[in-house]
Amino acid sequence: MKMFKKTALVARLALLTVVLTSLLTAQVAAQTSNGSGQVRALLSQQSVNPASPQTQASQLRADQELESVQLGVLEAELHFGIKGINAIATVQGQSDGSGNTRSDIWLNELVAAWGQGAWQLSAGKKIVEWDVGYGFRPNDVVQQEKRRSLITVSAIGRPLLMAEYFDATLAASLVWVNPATSSSRNASGLLEKGEEQALAGRAYYRVGTVDLHGFARYGVDSGASAGAAVAWVASDALELHASSRYLRHSESLSMAAQTPLLVRGSAWHTELQNNLTQTLVGLSWSNEDQHNLILEAWWDGSAASPQQWRDWSTRNQNLLAAVPKLVGLAPALAGSLMGQNQLLSSSANLHRQNMFARWSWQSGAWQPAVDVLWTPADNGVVSSASLAWQGDQLRVDAGVRWYGGASDSVLASLPVRKLAYLSMTWAF
């Protein structure tokens, strides 16, 4: 039965996207001077975590059996450029194991650029990425992309106007982000990350083996922040990097200590934190045999504190303990449990203290890799193992990621316990 579901899933995806992809590819090839792209098929399967408050809440509401969640994605990404205009477009079809399908098309980038000399101007939707870290980038203040994704995908750019200056050793950028957009807030009342009008600037200067970066940002709602970063190649094998950002204000979610188990609406309210820092230090090391190691540690002052997570865990337990006593209120208790998950997405990091290690080895066309993220505050662990094969045009990626660690850690309480994926990418 499962095999039948998978076959049907792939067939639906193919039907949804191949025609669109072919049409778009032919169009691009015919009309642009510089076109390339890729077609990707991705199958993933998530094992749900029965200990997660979200899983228990969904069982209370729907009395459902726990099932693995399958997802199939077929997408085509097209890059094209002509006379100073560059674009990246994605066509995507998705199908889950239950037969639900959807298709979508979006522009990652559509930007016009002027200037061949020292000064250059850009306008449109553009991907702008800054900072020096791998696991966390406090100064990636324009794009604010998700880190540690399983598969490398193109980010979705921001609407912006950008002026840049380059000479041999200096680069400076001034960006007006979301010039025609007003701020938007998510269901928790927090500012959507990067979805506000802002001015951001970066200055870069190269001094021999050292790259120096300075950053500043002023957001209409989030206020001012400033940062600096450095990358230094200390020896043939070793690169060291560090990045730090100071934020005058940052919004976070808070819950009063005496909040009752059942409340109308959300139990969370937004709170303004003042004078925060985010700091990362790290290194990358490589040897002649093509082994590569990345070690990083970072502090994110905007993340929830250990006490907030202890309160979160206590409230989860109290809500679950109340179910047998208040049977008639089970759906409402389940709703409160679901609401607890808002804290999981309130910041780029779950914890303030984070340690990250990644080993990879390039051996011909093959690249095995293993990485671990550890949150020392509660001994939570996310570990991943992957294997990639790269041919002339075909790339195959497969891997598994586990969420766990100490049983009372936040990472062990996430709705997902394990995630496996297989991806095939054809570049053209």
Partner 1 sequence: MKKLLTDRLKITLFVPLLTSATLSTAAMAEDVSALLKAADQFRLASDEMQVETQISTYNRDGSKEKERRYMVFSQKTHQSLVLMQSPAEAGQKVLMLGDDFWMLMPGSQRPLRITPMQKLLGDASIGDIATMSWSQDYAGKLVAEEPCEAPAAVGQTQAQTQTCLRLSLDATRKSAAYQHIDLWLGKAKHEPIKADLYVQSEKLAKRASFVMDKTQVPAVVSEMVLLDQLSSHKETRVRYLSRKPRSIPEQWLNPMFLAKNPSLE
Residue closer to partner 1 (CB basis): 244 or 409: 244
Q: Which stretch binds partner 1 (CB under 8 A): 55-63, 150-158, 176-184, 398-406?
A: 150-158
Give the one residue of 102, 206, 269, 310 binding partner 1; rule: CB under 8 A.
206
- Binding to partner 1 by residue 106, rule CB under 8 A? no
Q: Which stretch binds partner 1 (CB under 8 A): 5-13, 246-254, 362-370, 380-388?
A: 362-370
- Binding to partner 1 by residue 121, rule CB under 8 A? no
- Binding to partner 1 by residue 361, rule CB under 8 A? no
Q: Which stretch binds partner 1 (CB under 8 A): 148-156, 308-316, 318-326, 368-376?
A: 148-156
Binding mask 318-357 for partner 1 (x = CB under 8 A): ----------------------------------------
- Binding to partner 1 by residue 154, rule CB under 8 A? yes
d(CA 425, CA 67): 28
Give the one residue of 100, 116, 274, 407 binding partner 1; rule: CB under 8 A.
116
- Which residue has 């960006």 as its token pair? 175
- Report the run of H or E that residue 314 belongs to, with start and end: helix 306-322
Largest Cα separation within the chain, whole Å, is 73
For residue 306, report the phi and psi dihedrals to the nearest 5 degrees: -55, -35
Residue closer to partner 1 (CB basis): 166 or 246: 166
Give the one residue of 19, 23, 62, 170 binding partner 1; rule: CB under 8 A.
170
Per the CB < 8 A criterion, the answer to whether 331 and 60 are in contact is yes
Residue closer to partner 1 (CB basis): 69 or 153: 153
Residue closer to partner 1 (CB basis): 314 or 366: 366
For 361-377, give one letter per residue: b (16+ CB within 10 A) or e: ebeeeebebebebbbeb
- Binding to partner 1 by residue 390, rule CB under 8 A? yes
* Least separation in angstroms between CB 231 and partner 1: 4
Q: Which stretch binds partner 1 (CB under 8 A): 13-21, 95-103, 165-173, 328-336?
A: 165-173
| Sequence letter at residue 43 | L
- Which of 374, 405, 397, 369 lies closest to 385 in space, CA to CA? 369
Per the CB < 8 A criterion, the answer to whether 417 and 404 are in contact is yes
- What pairing do the DSSP bridges indicate for beta strands 223-233 and 210-219? antiparallel
CA geometry: angle at 181 spanning 175 and 185, to 5°?
Answer: 110
Residue closer to partner 1 (CB basis): 154 or 353: 154
Per the CB < 8 A criterion, the answer to whether 397 and 41 are in contact is no
- Binding to partner 1 by residue 31, rule CB under 8 A? no
* Least separation in angstroms between CB 106 and partner 1: 16
Ramachandran area for residue 340 (φ above 0: left; ψ -120 to 50: alpha; else beta): alpha
- Binding to partner 1 by residue 11, rule CB under 8 A? no
Count of residues engaged in binding partner 1, rule: CB under 8 A:
59
Per the CB < 8 A criterion, the answer to whether 245 and 138 are in contact is yes
Per the CB < 8 A criterion, the answer to whether 272 and 249 are in contact is yes
Give the one residue of 152, 275, 314, 317 binding partner 1; rule: CB under 8 A.
152
In Å, how far from its chain's centre is CA 5?
Answer: 29
Structure tokens at 74: 């077929």
- Binding to partner 1 by residue 366, rule CB under 8 A? no
- Binding to partner 1 by residue 387, rule CB under 8 A? no
Binding mask 209-228 for partner 1 (x = CB under 8 A): x-x-----------------
> What string of DSSP letters covers 390-427?
E-SSEEEEEEEEEEEESTTSSGGGSSEEEEEEEEEEEE
* Least separation in angstroms between CB 312 and partner 1: 34
* Least separation in angstroms between CB 56 and partner 1: 37
- Binding to partner 1 by residue 2, rule CB under 8 A? no
d(CA 73, CA 14): 9
- Binding to partner 1 by residue 241, rule CB under 8 A? yes
Binding mask 272-291 for partner 1 (x = CB under 8 A): ------------xxxxxxx-
> What string of DSSP letters covers 330-367?
HHHHHHHHHHGGGGGGSSS-SSSEEEEEEEEE-BTTEE
* Least separation in angstroms between CB 290 and partner 1: 6
d(CA 384, CA 367): 14
Binding site for partner 1 (CB under 8 A): 36, 38, 79, 81, 86, 113, 116-118, 120, 127-132, 143, 152-155, 166-171, 204, 206, 208-209, 211, 231-233, 235-239, 241, 284-290, 292, 362, 364-365, 390-393, 395, 427-428
